[in-house]
């Protein structure tokens, strides 16, 4: 049968786009990733020690990375920062102060950045939170991209060690969940090793990603197909949850954070046994972060059922709160339907709403934010993401604020401001999930915001 007109049109458009995209993506892949290096002062902040302590430690410790000279400063990349962290851990009384790694019996938190609305900074917030946890606590973060648009994947693809851009054959969450994207294969339970192979390396030490591409949308179709042929006892909302449980049981934390000291003197890694370091970075994950597609589908429902915590990024414009209510009620309905038939614990951790892209000069934004804070004080985070031109520029080339290096002084200021904002949001989320990891960035940021507001009000009154 000849192709219908829409089918033909989509086929032609798809071919053209593929050619256009290949050219556009070359640039992205050539770049080293992550590009940024951090000064000794910034490293001290991430390590939560004083600058004096760090410089002294650097001078006294064999194997301390040399870094690179930049002007009068020494700067360190993310791998070197991880090495410094590990050196501090092997010398420390409490190694977890430097590497907040999961203990063998700790559960694996699964944190979802979810909302039904598009463009609410889900992907950007997920990427920044993952990097915040890596930079500040040395956590081994597992990323999962649940969006066929694969924004999160683009934030981590490329670079020497990192994964390339996924092609249609690259395994995605659909494979991870055992939902085969092609043909009539039945559901197959993957073992822990196979599941682990679906995580691809990124340029960030200890951070791995199950990437997405357009085929990820097949997950939905496969669930519908398997609904009829479900293996006995298998529920349509448990594909991802069961897969994560299998992976997790096969990959428990084994290495203690101080446990990679080289036995005999100084090899290439100085006092660090580099092989054990590499094993420790890949043996398990301390947290999984999932970035959602803007939709409430059966596939996304599987993600919710697999999650211990939801972070809901939400913009504050016109009808946004109505969309949020639709999402909340839709999800609640689905959960109640499941809980009526199945006594499982869903979402045992903390959940929170994160206001995003807030424009301080926009009265409507502020009015909606204020209303939300008054009516849902326990459900909403006290910090929010401000609208920023600097991050919009970085997002254009799929870099986070922790990576992007602006060229001019003026732009650097805007980016520094956004980094402070990202640190505040990261701190607020982390403090809800792991209260002992609070760093005070959220409080400091809010104080600064309210001080600036008082200034504005005073100026307006004068
Ligand atoms: N704080 C901000 N200031 C200005 N622009 C922002 C900010 N946060 C996000 N953006 C812009 O909004 C757009 C959407 O961001 P992002 O991709 O993170 O949202 P999303 O919710 O994941 O979108 P989608 O629903 O398509 O998955 C991006 O182009 C980004 O540049
Ligand atoms: Mg997104």
Residue 51 makes CB contacts below 8 A (sequence gap 6+) with 40, 41, 44
Q: How confident is the model at residue 264, as a pLDDT?
A: 63
In short, whether 421's Cβ falls inside 6 Å of ligand 1 is no
Q: Ligand 2 being an ion, which residues bring their Cβ within 5 A of it?
A: 122-123, 151
In which element (H, E) is residue 328 found?
helix 320-341
pTM: 0.93
Residue 394 makes CB contacts below 8 A (sequence gap 6+) with 400, 401, 403, 404, 415
Residue bearing tokens 């096969």: 250
87 C-alpha vs ligand 1 centroid, how far in Å? 37
Q: Map out the domains of the chain as residue ranges.
A: 102-461
Q: How confident is the model at residue 375, as a pLDDT?
A: 92
Q: How confident is the model at residue 168, as a pLDDT?
A: 81
In short, whether 395's Cβ falls inside 6 Å of ligand 1 is yes
In short, whether 422's Cβ falls inside 6 Å of ligand 1 is no
Given a contact cutoff of 8 angstroms between Cβ atoms, the answer to whether 334 and 301 are in contact is: yes
126 CA: nearest ligand 1 atom: 18
- Number of the ligand closest to the Cα of 387: 1
Residue 33 makes CB contacts below 8 A (sequence gap 6+) with 156, 158, 159, 160, 162, 202, 203, 403
Q: How confident is the model at residue 238, as a pLDDT?
A: 93
Q: Among residues 445, 326, 154, 159, which one has the least CA distance to residue 143?
A: 154
Q: How confident is the model at residue 456, as a pLDDT?
A: 67
In short, whether 123's Cβ falls inside 6 Å of ligand 1 is yes
Q: How confident is the model at residue 180, as a pLDDT?
A: 75
- Number of the ligand closest to the Cα of 122: 1
Per-residue model confidence as pLDDT tens digits over 128-159:
999 999 999 999 999 999 999 899 999 998 77
Low-confidence ranges of the chain (pLDDT < 50): none
Structure tokens at 422: 């990202």
The string over 137-172, giving b where at least 16 C-beta atoms fall within 10 Å of a residue's C-beta and e elsewhere, is bbbbbbbbbbbbbbbbbbbbbbbeebbebbeeebbb
385 CA: nearest ligand 1 atom: 1
The CATH architecture that domain 102-461 belongs to is 3-Layer(aba) Sandwich (3.40)
How far is CA 54 from each of CA 4, 82, 296, 363, 371, rounded to the nearest angstrom? 67, 14, 47, 45, 44
SS3 label, residue 379: coil
Structure tokens at 254: 């084994």
């Amino acid at each position: 049968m000849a192709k219908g007109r829409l089918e033909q049109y989509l086929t032609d458009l798809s071919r053209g786009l593929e050619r256009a995209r290949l050219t556009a993506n070359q640039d992205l892949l050539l770049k080293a990733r992550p590009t940024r290096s951090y000064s000794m002062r910034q490293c001290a902040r991430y390590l939560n020690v004083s600058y004096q302590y760090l410089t002294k430690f650097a001078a006294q410790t064999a194997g301390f990375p040399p870094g690179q000279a930049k002007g009068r400063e020494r700067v360190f990349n993310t791998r070197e920062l991880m090495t410094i962290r590990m050196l501090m851990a092997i010398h420390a009384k409490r190694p977890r102060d430097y590497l907040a790694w999961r203990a063998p019996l700790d559960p694996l938190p699964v944190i979802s950045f979810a909302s039904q609305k598009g463009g609410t900074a889900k992907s950007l917030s997920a990427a920044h939170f993952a990097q915040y946890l890596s930079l500040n606590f040395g956590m081994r973060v597992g990323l999962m991209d649940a969006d066929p648009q694969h924004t999160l994947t683009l934030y981590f693809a490329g670079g020497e060690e990192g994964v390339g851009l996924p092609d249609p054959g690259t395994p995605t969450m659909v494979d991870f969940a055992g939902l085969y994207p092609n043909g009539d294969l039945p559901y197959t339970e993957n073992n822990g090793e196979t599941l682990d192979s679906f995580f691809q390396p990124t340029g960030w030490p200890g951070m791995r990603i199950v990437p997405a591409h357009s085929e990820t949308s097949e997950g939905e179709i496969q669930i519908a197909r398997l609904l009829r042929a479900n293996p006995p006892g298998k529920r349509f909302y448990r594909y991802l949850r069961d897969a994560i449980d299998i992976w997790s049981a096969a990959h428990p934390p084994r290495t203690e954070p101080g446990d990679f000291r080289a036995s005999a003197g100084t090899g290439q890694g100085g006092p660090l046994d580099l092989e054990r370091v590499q094993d420790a970075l890949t043996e398990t994950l301390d947290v999984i972060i999932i970035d959602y597609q803007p939709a409430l589908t059966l596939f996304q429902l599987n993600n919710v059922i697999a999650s211990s915590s939801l972070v809901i990024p939400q913009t504050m414009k016109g009808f946004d709160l109505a969309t949020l209510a639709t999402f909340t009620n839709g999800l609640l309905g689905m959960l109640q339907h499941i809980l009526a038939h199945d006594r499982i614990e869903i979402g045992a951790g903390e959940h929170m709403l994160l206001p995003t892209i807030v424009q301080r000069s926009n009265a409507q934004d502020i009015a909606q934010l204020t209303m939300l804070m008054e009516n849902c004080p326990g459900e909403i985070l006290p910090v929010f993401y401000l609208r920023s031109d600097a991050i919009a520029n970085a997002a254009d080339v799929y870099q986070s604020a922790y990576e992007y290096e602006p060229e001019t002084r003026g732009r650097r200021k805007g980016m520094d401001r956004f980094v402070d904002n990202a640190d505040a949001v990261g701190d607020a989320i982390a403090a809800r999930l792991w209260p002992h990891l609070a760093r005070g960035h959220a409080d400091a940021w809010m104080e600064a915001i309210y001080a600036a507001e008082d200034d504005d009000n005073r100026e307006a009154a004068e």
